[in-house]
Amino acid sequence: MITPFTDDGKVNYAVAEKLAVHLVETGSDALVICGTTGESPVLTWAEEMELFQLVRQAIAGKAQLIAGTGSNSTHEAIEATRKAATLGVDATLQVVPYYNKPPQAGLYEHFKAIALAVPELPVMLYNVPGRTGQNLLPETILRLAEVPNIVSVKEASGNLDQTSHLRSILPPTFSIYSGDDSLTLPMLAVGAQGVVSVASHLVGNQLQQMVQSFFQGQVQLALDLHLQLLPLFKALFLTTNPIPVKAALQLQGWEVGSTRSPLAAAPSDVIDSLKSVMTALALL
């Protein structure tokens, strides 16, 4: 979920609450709060904890809340995850440490330490080498899968061969989720369970239908939906996420504000592309 801001750059908690409820009512089974799309790098820990508490109350009993409490500091990630657990979140998303580029042995120890520090909280690993500079390898994930509460991975490497390899070596109970909307259907075909989505802000019900159609054996319908939504998937990544999706929500009348610096407002050509795609999909 994106993090809404006011015109003066403060977190807009009222809109966050409304948006969380809207997303649950339009097809989302769970919400990741303070992930990449939520601009976690520019939020304070105090803002994040306030969002966790607010959204948990807003969607209680309707959907799960996955708290993005990852960091490139193991100690900081543990501290944040422990605090989030006391607020009643359902799970945690832990991103591969960024910038310091640890080796695989360091990644293993990092995630293991976080999981063992909060054993009551399920952990979803988050592999996004395009942002972190380091790829969490399948063999490392296999070792981490031995930790009881490390139960899933958001795989955003964009590498279908890597996803296939993951599925071939991981226990069937360990879930793989696509981290890219445009790769959701291909990843389902090689063993993924669903998607941690950006486009769900706009087409959550259609994404839910696509995933369910695939698992019900209606592969042609799933493909039709994928191809129908593909232009939107691409438009939402014409520039750095979440710039386009925030612009798209603004086009629909959501007062979500702009992104925080150092991200920038959506350029006019991106807005024009969004208007065209969204009009074609009857989203405006």
Residues taking part in catalysis? 126, 154
Q: Cα dist. 20→7, 27, 58, 80, 163 in Å?
A: 20, 11, 7, 21, 30
Give the C-alpha separation, 277 to 271, whole Å: 10
Residue whose entry in the numeric block shows the structure tokens 């959204």:
55
- At 216 the three-state DSSP class reads coil
At 243, the amino acid letter reads I
- At 150 the three-state DSSP class reads strand
The phi, psi pair for 225, rounded to 5°, reads -65, -40
Give the C-alpha separation, 254 to 158, whole Å: 30
Give the C-alpha separation, 31 to 243, whole Å: 19
Give the C-alpha separation, 183 to 186, whole Å: 5
Residues composing the chain: 284
Structural tokens at position 152: 């899933």
The DSSP secondary structure of 108-129, one letter per residue, reads HHHHHHHHHHSTTS-EEEEE-H
Closest CA to 203 of 175, 176, 236: 236
